[in-house]
């Protein structure tokens, strides 16, 4: 059994989750305890800085029990080339040692160099898919086939 933990600020992650849910994957979306700034400009500025210092957000309570799952998929937007700060919290909270871990990352450029470097270091052997703006990506279902 597989579960997706993901975060989405602008809906791209939600699009990914809706497709993975159809494949029978359980979905657990995380949300910030305190809302991020309303404007896209301030979100990018403050989120980008917070990601660069590997900040962990305080999240609303969420289910961390992984007993029924053998694979955990982590979904994150890319902020300043890195994981989004809510996902830093998830990676810190979950006990992923005995699980297969995969990543689905979504970004404006379709690239995620610093997040990938972190995955290679901390989760070696994990599979990673990076998707350029899922909401506008006509290839989305195909790109998710590898998961």
Residue closer to ligand FMN, measured from CB, 22 or 108? 108
Residue 49 · residue 22 · CB < 8 Å: no
Q: Which of 2, 9, 96, 123 binds ligand FMN (CB under 6 A)?
A: 9
Does 85 bind ligand FMN (CB under 6 A)? Our answer is: no
Q: Which of 3, 4, 5, 13 binds ligand FMN (CB under 6 A)?
A: 13
Output the DSSP codes for 68-96: T-SEEEEEEEEETTEE-HHHHHHHHHS--
> Which residue's structure tokens are 């359980």?
26
Cα angle value 93/122/125 (rounded, 5°): 115
The contact pattern for ligand FMN, residues 88-107, with x = CB under 6 A and - = no contact, is ------------------xx
Query: Which residues have CB under 8 Å from 74's CB, separation 6+?
Result: 4, 5, 6, 87, 90, 91, 101, 102, 103, 104
Q: Which of 27, 44, 94, 116 binds ligand FMN (CB under 6 A)?
A: 44
| Binding-site size, ligand FMN (CB under 6 A) | 21
Q: Which of 60, 108, 117, 141 binds ligand FMN (CB under 6 A)?
A: 108
Contact footprint for ligand FMN (CB under 6 A):
8-13, 43-44, 47-48, 77-81, 106-109, 111, 133
């Amino acid at each position: 059994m597989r579960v997706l933990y993901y975060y989405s600020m602008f809906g791209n992650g939600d699009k990914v989750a809706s497709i993975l849910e159809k494949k029978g994957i359980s979905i657990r979306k995380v949300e910030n305890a305190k809302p991020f700034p309303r404007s896209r400009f301030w979100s990018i500025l403050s989120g980008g800085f917070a990601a660069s210092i590997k900040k962990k957000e305080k999240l609303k309570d969420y289910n961390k029990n992984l007993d029924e799952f053998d694979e955990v998929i982590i979904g994150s937007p890319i902020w300043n080339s890195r994981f989004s700060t809510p996902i830093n919290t998830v990676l810190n909270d979950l006990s992923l040692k005995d699980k297969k871990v995969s990543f689905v990352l979504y970004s404006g450029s379709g690239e995620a160099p610093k997040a990938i470097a972190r995955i290679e270091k901390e989760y070696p052997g994990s599979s990673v898919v990076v998707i350029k703006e899922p909401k506008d990506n006509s290839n989305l279902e195909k790109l998710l086939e590898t998961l």
